Structure 1
Amino acid sequence: MDEMRRDRDAEGRAHNARPRDGLGRPLPYGSPGVARQPEGVVRTPPETLAEAQRLLDAGMPFHAHEVFEDAWKSGPQDERELWRGLAQLAVGLTHSARGNTTGGARLLRRGAGALAPFVGSAPHGIAVAGLSGWARELADRVESGPVVDAAAEAPRLRR
């Protein structure tokens, strides 16, 4: 019965304490899982990019998405769409690796669209144009049905 209830924090917000795999999928209680990314961490842009790249290279795009989400929520207003777009790319890769090709392709394209305003400026050395092209190409490929290997498909975030 305890396994069926959602865990709650002191404010009553739901938190699921089930262990997760590298793609963020829930595992049975008591299974060894992958350590979760702490939430609400404020990092510099170089720290964000380094941590997200490490996670992407390890085949953990779901966790990289959480790093980008922290930057999106804590960064300057004029960069929020940049970090949100990067988070969408990571989630798109996550869905693609999980076999959800429709959702994966949709999020990859949405993330590429969110990055479009930054293509000319490449803030923080981010390879915006390359990432947009990678996302669109991967979206086209996953729509034909193959599940992708998240680590093998990890994009390079910086030029």
Structure 2
Amino acid sequence: MPLLPKKRRRTAVHEVLGAFRVIFGSVRRHFAWLESACGVGGAQIWALAVMAKRPGLRVGDLAEALSIHQSTASNLAERLIRQGLAKRRRDGGDQRVVHLELSARGRSLLKRAPRPLQGVLPDALERLPAGTLRRLKADLGVLVRSLHAKDDRAAYLPLADL
């Protein structure tokens, strides 16, 4: 694929960097707003929202819903339980199986939490037309592969932890 002329290329690079800055700044601002309004972070709010929609889900289900590693989801769930925002329930048939659900305090917190509960970036991605999302996925894949120093582990961390 041919490269853009040098000046147009530099302009395009600056515009793309500007778009990334707007995205990162918007994500940070929303996380700060959540923290200020609720006293907990964005990943915790999103986890609570998932638990509200799927009462009794397991840690693995939470990890999948948040697109994070299972150990990260387990730590997140433990933090929510310690804060009294969620509770665990053991499966009657198999005591090793743990189900997560909101506590009354967690439900109350969700009611007053600023929207979107899953965060501004996941919300925006969910609302993109399918073709746009496919192209973005492909183009970002090219960008990620061209990075000289990359941290593949970051793909499974909550955005708030980056």
Larger radius of gyration between Structure 1 and Structure 2: 2
Larger helix share, 1 or 2:
2
TM-score, with length taken from structure 2? 0.25
TM-score, with length taken from structure 1? 0.26
Higher relative contact order (CA 8 A, sep 6+): 2
